[in-house]
Structure 1
């Protein structure tokens, strides 16, 4: 390979190292925050190109040697971020083989995609999983009619379909009694957060929070609304006397700083830690592939089962988890603890989002 080709490889290494370290900047600028998403893809590109650069070390100058060193640092940084979500890491949420009668339940979350009109395929998924609690996102009036067949199976149902903003519709179906279910609107009138108690068959009441935060719709928009929605859900979880599950299409990845902060504030465990990345978006792309759909829960729960299900016509894969409510039982994992400043940062983010949301509603 010529020296020109070697320089081209080094240029790519520099570019990948740059996009690796840019997310270290504390900012809500969307195009910088977006660089957190493709860490897996960047890792493998760096691995290949840095290996090639090392092989070509005889054709590169001292500057090239420095670039290789930078590439190795970037590779190490990506590995550090991704390591918890590999099978080499310890599980954050402990697996249970058994659960006391009445304390287990199954949750299914699915972003059906507003433009997807293959309801039959989705209903087949629901029938196969037979969940106790079902959260459906991106519903509209068409989906509301198409989901009516679930009414016989799920005696409890709440739904919200925003006028003119159907991409943020939300349905919750439950075979378990729902207590004071409501949709909270934090920063605008069309992006709901579902908050409710769920009475288990054991008689215990847990809290469920369903989220689908507003993503930036352009590179010029900030992540303010998305970040604040996740942090508000975490604050609800952290202050609740009931064991809490936070689930939905987060529009963030598990290793992103805001997701980790939300987990610390809400004392939430991520079942992906130690089990694998398990991407859920996009169904039709191997390049754009990351885990946006998440189910997090507090330490009072043990994990019986967790997995990503087959596609059904949406651009998201559905996700299911079977949990065991077992407060005080041996084998439960310790929840993450908030860092100094986490609460203050969350409160500042929420206040900023109120201003942004009010501006958007006024447009």
Structure 2
């Protein structure tokens, strides 16, 4: 009965972590619910009304969980497509306390990405990654010791960049405008909003607000766009789906695969929180989870190309706009009360 009840916790309109956490473990809950259904003949479950109601609730909960995660299962094999103008990127939360710098350096040297986004990188990480700096023509450095530092390395031509502090002065995001080999411009966002958890923020208000800010900025842009980073949010959560609607960006995992990236050492309990969204003008050709670098996250590699120069965005629905503005206001208030 417990597993059936908590399956529906994310439907409760609360931003507290105790309700949001059950969004993260839908895969694991689905397996547990399926096991309970299959094990029913071997369990001493009575045929009373309460017993039958319990089995019915378990079945309904399993179907509900499946309806949410099923769109993320691949419809066809994720084939490797390598068009002439393919761009290779790696996004990795390195875990600030991790000191296994050489493992990341080996991955970078092996993959040779055009874009490398590192998250939770401080000055110490920056200094220990000096070896790879010569491989990149442009580097954006935002070192921090609060686990929200960020660095972006790229071999592509850099036309412009902004370091945003969207909700809090403690949580930067990087926005860069790059040019590919065909001379097509695109925007790449690297984000890392704070998670709701017992050790971080009590609610998801700041995270949701930061996602809504990025989504509104993405909606206004007509330039091809990629948004990647540690969202501290699973692909199928209400916040991720709202982000997709407001930004008019696609979740690259839909019909492709789940690609769990956290926790690195317990992927049987893993879920996807290093996310990837893209505009209609961008084609993602491949997604791959790379080998561990000693962090609690696994690196996410993806390949993409620009398929059109200009997007055609529709006006944002007034109800969605109001909802986004409300969440931004709540997030700002939560950040203000924290200071």
TM-score (norm 1): 0.87
The aligned residue for residue 145 of structure 1 is 127
| Contact 2:17–2:197 (8 Å) recurs in 1 | no
Structure 1, unaligned stretches of length 5 or more? 1-13
Q: Does 1:242 align with 2:220?
A: no
Alignment of 1:1-363 (within 5 A): 14-53=1-40, 56=43, 59-88=46-75, 97=81, 99=83, 101=84, 103-162=85-144, 164-165=145-146, 167-218=147-198, 221-327=202-308, 341-360=319-338, 362=339
Cα offset for 1:335? 9.8
| Aligned Cα root-mean-square deviation (Å) | 2.5
Cα offset for 1:277? 1.1
**Bigger Rg, structure 1 or 2:** 1
CA distance in 2, matches of 1:328, 1:213: 29
Distance 1:49 1:336, change over 3 A: farther
Distance 1:352 1:305, change over 3 A: same
Paired positions, count: 338
SS at match of 2:50: helix
| Contact 1:249–1:294 (8 Å) recurs in 2 | yes
SS at match of 1:314: coil
CA distance in 2, matches of 1:257, 1:37: 11
Structure 2, unaligned stretches of length 5 or more? none
Distance 1:197 1:37, change over 3 A: same
CA distance in 2, matches of 1:236, 1:319: 24
| Contact 2:167–2:331 (8 Å) recurs in 1 | yes
The aligned residue for residue 11 of structure 1 is none
| Contact 1:96–1:302 (8 Å) recurs in 2 | no
SS at match of 1:341: helix
TM-score (norm 2): 0.93
| Contact 1:96–1:303 (8 Å) recurs in 2 | no
Distance 1:65 1:110, change over 3 A: same
CA distance in 1, matches of 2:57, 2:113: 48
